[in-house]
Structure 1
Amino acid sequence: MSSDVSMSSDDDKPLGVIPKARATQNGHAASANGRAAVMDDEDSFMTDSDQPLSQTSPAKSDSTAPRRRHMKRKADYSSSDSDTPLASSPAKSVASASVPMPGAVAATTVPANRINGHSNGKLNGHKTHKLQPKANGNGKAKPPPKKKVKKEEEEEDYSAESEDEKPAPKPRKKASTSATNGKSKNVVPKADPDASEDEKPLKKQKAVADKTKKVKDEATSDAAATPKPKKSKEKTAKEEPDGATPKKKRGKKKEEEDAEEEEVYKWWEMEDPNGDGSIKWATLDHNGVYFPPPYERLPSDVRMKYNGKPVTLSTEAEEVAGFYGAMIETEHAQDATFNKNFFQDFKKVLTKHPPPDGTIIDKFELCDFRPMYEYFDAEKVRKKGLTTAEKKELKKAKDALEEKYTTCVLDGRKEKVGNFRIEPPGLFRGRGEHPKKGCLKRRVTPEDITINIQQGVPIPKPNMPGKWKKVIHDQTVTWLANWTENINGQHKYVFLAAGSSLKGQSDMMKFEKARELKKHVDRIRQDYNNELKSKVMADRQRATAMYFIDRLALRAGNEKGEDEADTVGCCSLRCEHVTLEQPNFIIFDFLGKDSIRYYKKVDVEDQIFKNIRIFKGGKNDDDNLFDRVTTTGLNKHLASYMKGLTAKVFRTYNASITFQQQLDEYTPDKASVQEKLNAYNKANRMVAILCNHQRSVPKTHSASMEKLTDKLRGFKYERMKLRHVLFAMDPKYKKNKAYKDDESDMDDEWIAQHEKSQKEKEIEKAERKFAKENEKLEADGKEAQKKSVLKDRLKDIEEEYDRLEQERGTGKADLGRKKAPEKIEESIEKLGEKIKTFKLQMVDREEGKEVSLGTSKINYLDPRITAAWCKIHDVPIQKIFSKTLLTKFPWAMEVESEWKF
């Protein structure tokens, strides 16, 4: 080991973390643990840029075979008078009381390691505490919009698998199967033959479909339907004074950008930004949708093999075979259900379009798609190898084809269209254990598309042969086009982009509705706590379900059809999903939205434990736990407290109020920007745990952390070299406290490897730069540089790293150029700050490896909380919100720093 390197320094130890954040649910203490991530009610996909120092990866769920529900007429409830609803006694009405409930006990979750007998009282590595709700204390807030705007679900390009691209489907009738889960470990009393009819579970519980009423205000004219924006005062250009130097003329591109910024439509500054609640637009003109290009056949020498022999397929069959061939190295191709569904659909295509050579393909095991895979893989490599100019040319041609579809004219304003591209054909991947994964998504044609456009304007022509299925002029909806996909029969919609005025109004109304819930939440909690002992079974079940929805942020849940994944929510929980464990623990284990596993052990109040024991009494594992509660009925009950209140609003409210409380309590005032960002992400993680926005640890996490560790050592290596330069200038620096300690976590072996790696990078960089320079010279019609120029550059690199090798272990260093000691001291100080910040980033990434932070930012956290927090703590919002989110929430950026949720 070199004399200048010490392994005993504390330099490599992680910095002290911010005070442990306490997971709060509605102001009550809670801890949670889960292993899978979820995509939420209004998902939009995020890139890594949306999540500072966190990676996203598809979560794997521990799924089980789908089970359906049976309803049995069996029941038994506790013999205790306080437990058993008495049908013979008239139910007493409970008066609502708007009383603060700081003492209400929240359901506290227990980490999985505690279940295994390793209790450490920690949540995601941090101790859990109980939090009392803080006084609202928010400043004067803008009242929620009085007008109602129809809410449209988020839509993204090519997100065929997402169930969030369409309005929520109507509940379907339950279909029962005989599947059971064996014996249950639940605490269940014996059946009571004398139980009254009202106490017995219903034999069948039919889901009542929500009927959506379309209300049109015929008395309101189109002109009145669309509010006119306020005219902004135009700034008059100041004339240059005599003799003043005229300003330089700015580039055309910059002027166009400035003009576009000036034309931003600030709908949130209008007196009535939400219109009349019925008519959404007065004028709407667009160019329809963009269909993917037709399929092009593969080269004649690229053919799939059957039983070892190449097969000539029809064009239609070759396209489908190619879908699978491109995926044979993915996890999907290793899935039995995926392969089964694919081959069934592939054979249907082969029946309609048989191979010209007469080959009969009837066994999946004999099919060999590798020639196709190798061709596609080679094409990827070829495209990656294209020059920058070639890539730009291809992009330019693609953009030119799509340009007219990217925008529309809404009420005289140019607005961006979101998912204007029609999904290309392919194989359905689904999420989790979806029963239809692997099925063929057929090509969508104009005959499938319904266009919504203003009456009287020219009807757009499709970019492929065919005519639109239908053209309508419905001013009460905001979609431009729709069609029905063939896999699940779901309706797909083309909406305006996330940053459009209509989308922004919808988002703002959603969060304002959640803020309005603050005025009613105490009364609602008072009522459902009183009804936990109700003598009417339906009321008691509803109160218990509301408790879970409020305290655990569970989704309400809807009934599923036979051909859908067996996912459940609170109202559709079955007995097999809930296990009782003495003295008062409830273990939830079920597949939630998108087949993501929800697993939590919850410490509940005694009455909740007793109620669940009653509800499970005399039932089979596949019977509904809440057999007298439906999502429709629950939402109707909630609407009696507040107009438009549904179970979904509770989820948004709980996420935002918890986030606000965490930020207020744990953000350090005097700290670096990175320390404040860590506090922000900790608060976000509390929300992610509350809402079960968790994920499995990314496969690349370990490798990623190793790279970060090497990068941190690289900073230390640079600092070490600078210290040695100072020591060579003046030995007295060795006595300086700031410089005397050697960098840890580095030995001669690592330094040699690091220098070798850096040398390879420098050589590669020089070669790329040389090639790029020659490419530019040739484009300008000039003579390219000779190879000797590159050789000289590479020789300089070799000499530099030979010098570093000779310095290794000597405790001396030479920068190769003269530099003042003050400048070197300044560089060392900057490196020290960089190391400190980088360590905080590593801690943040490690703590967030099992949590997805992006979902909360997009859908559940009021963006005004983040905007106000950034202003108070002087944190650039660009470090938290990506460009996509800044475009999505322009209305939130102008909030005052004193604003509170």
Structure 2
Amino acid sequence: MSGDVAMLSDDERTLAPKPTANGQPPNGKGSVNGHANEVPMSDEDDDVPLSQATSKSELDGRPSRTLKRKKPIYAESSSSDDDVPLASSPAKPTRQNGNGKVKAVKKEETDDDEPSELASKTNKRARAPSKKQPPKKKVKEETPTNPPSSEDEAAPPVKTTARKRKAKVKAEESEADVPPPPKKAASKSRKKVKKEEPESDADIKPKTNGRSRKQPAGSESPAKGKGKKKEEEDEDEVFKWWEATDANGDGTQKWQTLEHNGVFFPPAYEPLPSHVKMQYDGQDVDLPPQSEEVAGFYGAMLDTDHARDSVFNKNFFDDFKKVLERYPPRCGTQIETFELCNFRPMLEHFETEKAKKKAMTAEEKKAAKKARDEAEAKYTTCVLDGRKEKVGNFRVEPPGLFRGRGEHPKKGSLKKRVRPEDITINIGSTAPIPVPNMPGKWKSVIHDKTVTWLATWTENINGNHKYVFLAAGSSLKGQSDMQKFEKARELKGHIDKIRADYTEDLKSKVMADRQRATAMYFIDELALRAGNEKGEDEADTVGCCSLRCEHVTLEPPNFVVFDFLGKDSIRYYNRVQVDQRVFKNIRIFKENKEPDDNLFDRVTTTALNKHLTSQMKGLTAKVFRTFNASRTFQRLLDEQDLSDATLQEKLNAYNKANREVAILCNHQRAAPKTHDQSMEKMKNKLRALKYERMKLRHVFLTQEPKMKKSKKYKDAESDLDDDWIEEHEESLKAKEIEKVEKRFAKENEKLEAEDKKPMKDSVLKERIEYIEEEYARLAKERGTGKATLKRERPSDKLEEAIDKITEKIHAFKLQMIDRDEGKEVALGTSKINYLDPRITVAWCNTHDVPIEKIFSKTLLSKFPWAMGVDNVWKF
């Protein structure tokens, strides 16, 4: 479904200068950048680039846990949701049946943020994989259409207590005649969740990958107490409809039976309080709910760049007046001039409500989330051929204002509320028809087994068809992804002949063939999209076949300059050296044409794809893009020498290769608005690590004065001046006091709940005084080059701690470099759509890199079929 939402996220809001009459800042014109340069990605954020998913312990400046001491009073204790490592989102374990289809291995439901009991057991058992296959009665039930193969009849091992484990392993080792279990699609060991964050990226051993080097990739270990497990694990997965297979299908049956509960409609509009009104010419306007809702859409976006864009404002006001004609103000006010409208009272109300939500207690937030989850629960899954599958985008998008991307001509237009009468449901003929959760009846109910969507409707802005598909980790979607990448790999066997053919056609006497060959040259060499015809009311974006003469400039002897807006209105600018024949052809194609004439006036995307299909079954221009991206990525990774590299150096090398592919595919983005603030935040956290090392170094040199001459322990914190240290220590003290106050309040709440007498305020006062005394001691040490600890520690432990923090600082510096270099490149799009995930899995296995460091939780669930490849797999 569309990524546009009715309300605005915090990061898009800007500080507003003094408002004018309509509540807008002065100078009504402004650039539109809300979505101008964004590339569709996973929520995300669920697909955050690895470089932006820094370890929480590192960014917080917390000391290494291997120091075997409590956190020193001077250690930073702040945290941020943005700093959660990807490794905290483990993979969903899977295995394959005999048909090559991926099945989710049964697993007891766990919280993603809690340590997994399974993880600790998996590591212990990884060194001794079971050779004896478990009883067949434990096999997960298969559907009649997908019977298990003889190689995959083994179910997860039966429940085994810790007391019996050694005896069982010994007994299995004696059964030398029993063959080892077959390799499965993915290792359950990838589900490992560490109870403690690693000391640093450099400290992470290969074992964090969930298996030893000798353990088969598909070996599995049972978890204690998992005899009866749920068939499906509830995980938040977001399905992107634009990644789905062709909604029209290929004419073959995709399913036999299908049951689902339809789609989830957003709640009805709740009118604003009576004192919150939009104003017109300084007077309050009493709007009916239908008009008030539309006015509120604009009011919520008042302090964004969208509301300072003339096209956005014009389209909004045109649609707003149409709504007012049908639902006029009850006070009789005639709203005719946009500049006389003031929506700021609405914005202020929304900001107040948002602040109230932020101020909710943890229990209130948990209760609200529980209520939402319960309301949506039945829509999250369906039953496909007797199997329970997750549904992806089951929520119908709420009404709002269309934002679009780039200079879209319809930005600001009203997205109308979707109702049951707009939606067609696709369901099994014997399944009960779902009842909508709002008044109304479905537009129609069909039983089409050749398509995979569950519901469809047409949105009113661009007339695009919207579909509800199964989730990214479902079997149908997984098969579609695997077939896409296999088709790209198949192209390897045909590419030489195809290139020879279009190279020959570059000098064809038939102009249509010559144009087609030139277009294929650009699609192959530059990974250009094929492009389609655009209507007058659509954004002026083009691809290869729809290039106009104005988009291509020739520079002798053989340079071509491309300058046009590609998908999502992202500018494509590239000066490239081309074959001399191609240069000559472009010059011929441009002769006697106007700048706005088509360069390839005898080539269409449909004709091009038809020609490609004749050279390889199923080949389209899209396949070239996937092929070139994956092939380039594989080559760049193979060229790297990472034999002595640290983990962070390996991650930087991986991201560098990913960036080059993203640039090839023009996956550019505008630098995030918060990039500078984010980098400054990282610099402060780097200084916090240096501060911690400085304190330990001072303690160590006090105990070992002879080491002062060692280069290793010379002053390495030159950027820590006294002013920064004082500010940092004051910040740490404030956070420590806040933490103590919260803990004190929580302890008293617990005592009161148990009908016990709460602690006196004097207890809190004593705790705060203790903190102040500690920081007073730190203030006295400031500038002296000496430091003390609350508890004495031997020199060897201090030296070990200093080394670990130094490694952490080195890894963090690399992360900062990686984030800064990737600020204008969208790495997630390549991972989701164009890079064969098996390349990444094989690379991780070869270089002992945890897959969770690269793939987000969403990608791990999206590509379970890729997790079982071995180290030598190549694209």
Please, what TM-score do these two structures have when normalized by structure 1?
0.73
Q: 1:784 to 1:297 in 2, by over 3 A?
A: farther
Report what 2:270 is aligned to.
296
Report what 1:228 is aligned to.
147
* Correspondent of 1:608 among 554, 576, 582: 582
Report what 1:838 is aligned to.
812
State the secondary structure of the residue aligned to 1:482: strand
- Give the letter aligned to residue 719 of structure 1: R
Report what 1:511 is aligned to.
485
**Farther off after superposition, 380-389 or 753-762:** 753-762
Report what 1:759 is aligned to.
733
Report what 2:324 is aligned to.
350
Report what 1:680 is aligned to.
654
1:641 equivalenced with 2:615 (yes/no): yes
- Give the letter aligned to residue 556 of structure 1: A
1:496 equivalenced with 2:460 (yes/no): no
Deviation by residue 1:171-218 (Cα, 9 ceiling, x = unmatched):
xxxxxxxxxxxxxxxxxxxxxxxxxxxxxxxxxxxxxxxxxxxxxxxx
Instruction: Check whether the contact 1:36–1:693 (CA below 8 A) recurs between aligned residues.
Output: no
* Correspondent of 1:436 among 410, 413, 420: 410
1:853 equivalenced with 2:820 (yes/no): no
Q: 1:704 to 1:236 in 2, by over 3 A?
A: closer
Deviation by residue 1:544-589 (Cα, 9 ceiling, x = unmatched):
1111101111000000112211111000000111111223221111
Instruction: Check whether the contact 2:37–2:405 (CA below 8 A) recurs between aligned residues.
Output: no
* Correspondent of 2:626 among 648, 652, 656: 652
Report what 2:844 is aligned to.
870
Report what 1:568 is aligned to.
542
Instruction: Check whether the contact 1:440–1:487 (CA below 8 A) recurs between aligned residues.
Output: yes
State the secondary structure of the residue aligned to 1:549: helix
Q: 1:606 to 1:234 in 2, by over 3 A?
A: closer
Q: 1:330 to 1:510 in 2, by over 3 A?
A: same
- Give the letter aligned to residue 851 of structure 1: V
1:540 equivalenced with 2:514 (yes/no): yes
Report what 2:562 is aligned to.
588
State the secondary structure of the residue aligned to 1:538: helix
Deviation by residue 1:284-313 (Cα, 9 ceiling, x = unmatched):
001111111111111101111110111110
- Give the letter aligned to residue 526 of structure 1: A
State the secondary structure of the residue aligned to 2:726: helix
Instruction: Measure, in 1, the Cα distance between the counterparts of 2:470 and 2:516.
Output: 38
State the secondary structure of the residue aligned to 2:624: helix
- Identity among equivalent positions (%) equals 69
Gaps of 5+ in 1: 1-34, 57-141, 148-222, 264-274
- Give the letter aligned to residue 671 of structure 1: A
Instruction: Measure, in 2, the Cα distance between the counterparts of 1:493 and 1:615.
Output: 40
Q: 1:573 to 1:869 in 2, by over 3 A?
A: same
Q: 1:257 to 1:697 in 2, by over 3 A?
A: farther
Report what 1:415 is aligned to.
389
Instruction: Check whether the contact 1:635–1:646 (CA below 8 A) recurs between aligned residues.
Output: yes
Gaps of 5+ in 2: 1-34, 55-95, 102-141, 169-221, 236-248
Equivalent residues in 2 for 1:89-104 (5 A)? none
State the secondary structure of the residue aligned to 1:600: strand
Instruction: Check whether the contact 1:37–1:692 (CA below 8 A) recurs between aligned residues.
Output: no
Alpha-carbon distance, 1:779 to partner: 4.8
Instruction: Measure, in 2, the Cα distance between the counterparts of 1:582 and 1:768.
Output: 71
Alpha-carbon distance, 1:616 to partner: 0.6
- Give the letter aligned to residue 352 of structure 1: R
Alpha-carbon distance, 1:883 to partner: 0.6
Instruction: Check whether the contact 1:405–1:417 (CA below 8 A) recurs between aligned residues.
Output: yes
Instruction: Check whether the contact 2:260–2:383 (CA below 8 A) recurs between aligned residues.
Output: yes
**Farther off after superposition, 859-868 or 843-852:** 843-852
Instruction: Measure, in 2, the Cα distance between the counterparts of 1:737 and 1:628.
Output: 71
State the secondary structure of the residue aligned to 1:408: strand
- Give the letter aligned to residue 358 of structure 1: G
- Give the letter aligned to residue 876 of structure 1: P
Instruction: Measure, in 1, the Cα distance between the counterparts of 2:38 and 2:287.
Output: 40
Report what 2:39 is aligned to.
39
**Farther off after superposition, 582-591 or 431-440:** 582-591
Instruction: Measure, in 2, the Cα distance between the counterparts of 1:448 and 1:296.
Output: 22
- Give the letter aligned to residue 686 of structure 1: E
Greater relative CO (CA pairs within 8 A, separation 6+): 1
Alpha-carbon distance, 1:320 to partner: 0.6
Q: 1:256 to 1:780 in 2, by over 3 A?
A: farther
Instruction: Measure, in 2, the Cα distance between the counterparts of 1:659 and 1:311.
Output: 59
Report what 1:462 is aligned to.
436
Alpha-carbon distance, 1:380 to partner: 0.7
State the secondary structure of the residue aligned to 1:666: coil
Report what 1:220 is aligned to.
none
Instruction: Measure, in 2, the Cα distance between the counterparts of 1:735 and 1:227.
Output: 71
Instruction: Check whether the contact 2:143–2:386 (CA below 8 A) recurs between aligned residues.
Output: no
Equivalent residues in 2 for 1:776-855 (5 A)? 776-779=750-753, 782-855=756-829
* Correspondent of 2:678 among 704, 710, 718: 704
Superposition RMSD in Å = 2.9
Q: 1:747 to 1:634 in 2, by over 3 A?
A: same
* Correspondent of 1:331 among 294, 298, 305: 305
Equivalent residues in 2 for 1:214-293 (5 A)? 226-230=145-149, 232-234=153-155, 237=158, 260=232, 278-293=252-267
State the secondary structure of the residue aligned to 1:533: coil
Deviation by residue 1:79-106 (Cα, 9 ceiling, x = unmatched):
xxxxxxxxxxxxxxxxxxxxxxxxxxxx
Instruction: Check whether the contact 1:55–1:849 (CA below 8 A) recurs between aligned residues.
Output: no
Deviation by residue 1:154-183 (Cα, 9 ceiling, x = unmatched):
xxxxxxxxxxxxxxxxxxxxxxxxxxxxxx
- Give the letter aligned to residue 50 of structure 2: P
1:53 equivalenced with 2:27 (yes/no): no
Report what 1:267 is aligned to.
none
Alpha-carbon distance, 1:832 to partner: 0.9
Report what 1:119 is aligned to.
none
Report what 2:532 is aligned to.
558
Q: 1:895 to 1:417 in 2, by over 3 A?
A: same
Q: 1:739 to 1:564 in 2, by over 3 A?
A: same
Instruction: Check whether the contact 2:37–2:568 (CA below 8 A) recurs between aligned residues.
Output: no
Q: 1:452 to 1:749 in 2, by over 3 A?
A: same
- Give the letter aligned to residue 479 of structure 2: Q
Deviation by residue 1:298-339 (Cα, 9 ceiling, x = unmatched):
110111111011111001001111111111011111111111
Alpha-carbon distance, 1:669 to partner: 1.7
Instruction: Measure, in 2, the Cα distance between the counterparts of 1:428 and 1:616.
Output: 37
- Give the letter aligned to residue 413 of structure 1: R
Instruction: Check whether the contact 1:426–1:440 (CA below 8 A) recurs between aligned residues.
Output: yes
- Give the letter aligned to residue 53 of structure 1: S
**Farther off after superposition, 734-743 or 371-380:** 734-743
Instruction: Measure, in 1, the Cα distance between the counterparts of 2:231 and 2:383.
Output: 18
Instruction: Check whether the contact 2:36–2:407 (CA below 8 A) recurs between aligned residues.
Output: no
Alpha-carbon distance, 1:715 to partner: 1.1
Report what 2:723 is aligned to.
749
Deviation by residue 1:440-461 (Cα, 9 ceiling, x = unmatched):
1111111111111101221111
Instruction: Measure, in 2, the Cα distance between the counterparts of 1:672 and 1:651.
Output: 32
* Correspondent of 1:530 among 476, 492, 504: 504
State the secondary structure of the residue aligned to 1:738: helix
* Correspondent of 2:363 among 369, 384, 389: 389
**Farther off after superposition, 874-883 or 252-261:** 252-261
